[in-house]
């Protein structure tokens, strides 16, 4: 979702993520279903974020940063050796 919003395109986001546009669309659709909102307005030249998407965007970005931080902590913990 974040990549789609940043690039304004499902296909561009898919390329950058290394997946198919169909996979990206399905993931966004599942997110929309889970939140009971429309996140993207789709049109022939790409997509635009909805008002709801703009409200959720900062929280999604925070969640991604938090997940990356946890991944880094996990990686660092795995590199520790017990003496």
- Confidence at residue 50, expressed as pLDDT on a 0 to 100 scale: 96
pLDDT in tens, 17-26: 999 999 999 9
pTM, two decimals, is 0.75
**12 pLDDT higher than 70:** yes
**3 pLDDT higher than 80:** yes
- Asked whether the beta carbons of 49 and 29 are under 8 A apart, the reply is no
**Which two tokens mark 75?**
């990686």
**31 pLDDT higher than 90:** yes
Residue 29 parent element (H or E) = helix 21-35
Question: Residues 71-83: what's their mean pLDDT?
Answer: 75
């Amino acid at each position: 979702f974040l990549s789609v919003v940043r690039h304004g395109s499902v296909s561009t986001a898919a390329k950058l993520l290394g997946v198919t546009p169909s996979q990206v669309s399905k993931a966004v659709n599942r997110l929309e279903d889970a939140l009971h909102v429309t996140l993207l307005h789709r049109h022939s030249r790409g997509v635009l974020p909805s008002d709801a998407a703009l409200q959720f965007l900062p929280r999604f970005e925070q969640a991604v940063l938090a997940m990356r931080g946890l991944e880094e902590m996990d990686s660092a913990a795995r590199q520790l050796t017990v003496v």
